[in-house]
Structure 1
């Protein structure tokens, strides 16, 4: 069965394992919600788990709910430069950062208008680096209870701990903080390189129910 997912900013490892192991459809018609991975991801730095947050332009209360696909990135703040510098500092000593940096740097080299479009671009970029197909199916209407799809949209919730068993791999600062699970796919990519896809395909995901 096809799984329904929200596109997020460099998705976490559980979400990317779902993408690697299943046929996926992207939710395109939902409303934007705060406290989700839509505009954030977590990486590992010398200080431990670290948040990278994309600033967005918030609409006023009179406008009511806003569609995710209409959310604008706030480029008045130099978030792209800051995110890329943080990634360089955190992962420049990882085994594969130099191998991938030329492919990832352009994502931070020009402004992006819509958050959803940028997120899909980051996912497509990683899929290409992993040599896997980017899911192309997208919703055209919003369904609270999707028909013919398994609803995995709950994975977007940044405040919900997903009860999965994740196999440890060597992280740059693992000797200081121990293994930090379910970080951004970038952490796995920079540390495991070409083995990242095999790692994702081997992860035990269970039933993936909320």
Structure 2
């Protein structure tokens, strides 16, 4: 497994995630066997709204969530988060150059219910890889390993509360940058909706 990139399954992952992925030719293994860690990008993403950075959080079913495997975490539908997330994406990016171009690809994720967070995230990742034209074999861990080669293990590298020191975001055009300036660390969809087919070149 040390000849794979070991990555977590994030919700609409940040740009740094794809910078790591695009910078390597190794096949991907998505980590589904880890104990689900709270307050990470596994169930949240950040986009650029008219009011600045906006966090979108996928609610999960409560219980002893910190002691179950990522692949066994269920999404909660007690609140209408799908409608709210889709409205937020539309409001944030309706005026971007490529939102309408990709809109039909993303809409089903906010209409159809997925039971498992891991499956939801991996389905989105498959779409994003296709849209970015990143052709990479993707598999799944079959058991949990605490240690991999440091050069291939990126499970803990990207976190909402920690700076990713090996990745420095280069500014690119954002819809509301005239209001709040360039905001780094956002979801890949911020780049994709603003720059479309040129996004891979940025990575």
- The match for 1:86 is 88
Aligned mate of 1:97, from 96, 99, 109: 99
Distance, in Å, in 1 between the alignment partners of 2:168 and 2:13 is: 17
- The match for 1:113 is 115
- The match for 1:37 is 41
**Structure 1 runs, 4 residues or longer, greater than 3 Å off:** none
Residues 147 and 21 of structure 1, relative CA distance in 2, 3 Å threshold: closer
Q: Tell me the CA shift for residue 136 of structure 1.
A: 1.3
SS at match of 1:150: coil
Alignment of 1:123 onto 2:139: no
SS at match of 1:153: coil
Distance, in Å, in 2 between the alignment partners of 1:70 and 1:183 is: 27
| 8 Å Cα contact 1:94-1:191 kept in structure 2 | yes
RMSD (CA atoms): 1.6
Aligned mate of 1:21, from 5, 23, 27: 23
Q: Tell me the CA shift for residue 135 of structure 1.
A: 3.8
Aligned mate of 2:199, from 180, 196, 205: 196
Number of corresponding residues: 198
Q: Tell me the CA shift for residue 64 of structure 1.
A: 6.8
TM-score (norm 2): 0.92
TM-score (norm 1): 0.89
Q: Tell me the CA shift for residue 35 of structure 1.
A: 1.1
Q: Choose between structure 1 and 2: higher helix proportion.
A: 1
